[in-house]
Amino acid sequence: MPATDFDAEREYDDDSFSAREAFRSDQLKAVCGYFEPEQFIPVHAPDSDVVVHVRDGTGVVREGDTDHRVEPGDVVAVLAGIDRGVKADDGGRLEALLVTAPPPTDAEHEPVREGLRRGVFDPKAGE
């Protein structure tokens, strides 16, 4: 059984959120996500379910048109095909476990890359 530890995987990047893959199969992908203040995973809608479990810090998990305020211990699930994104608050770091099933394709992550290039949380809204 693969095992990891948030402390051992912890890696922050000044330019973008950091995702450290903990496990991957054809059916599931689990990553430890590390966000500096105001860093984010841009809003996108892949054809996979996602569960976000906040380990430390505060922020927002977008589900469709709803922004869920999150703090340690919170769990948010978003169904496949629904817009989702994760953003750390401006006051501190955020750490979360993100589990997707099945793993999104490279093409489905193009909105993420676009949002990071443009520096916008919601590429469709043009923030």
pLDDT one-digit tens code per residue, 24-78: 999 999 999 999 999 999 999 999 999 999 999 999 999 999 999 999 999 999 9
Query: Which comes out higher in pLDDT, residue 9 or 2?
Result: 9
Q: What is the third-level CATH fold of 13-114?
A: Jelly Rolls (2.60.120)
Whole-model pTM over 0.85: yes
Task: Establish whether the linkage from the previous residue to 2 is cis, with ω within 30° of 0.
Answer: no
- Distance separating alpha carbons of residues 100 and 73, to the nearest angstrom: 18
Q: What are the residue ranges spanned by the domains of the chain?
A: 13-114
pLDDT band at 79 (very low <50, low <70, confident <90, very high): very high
pLDDT band at 23 (very low <50, low <70, confident <90, very high): very high
| pLDDT beyond 70 at 2 | no
Q: What pLDDT is attached to residue 8?
A: 81
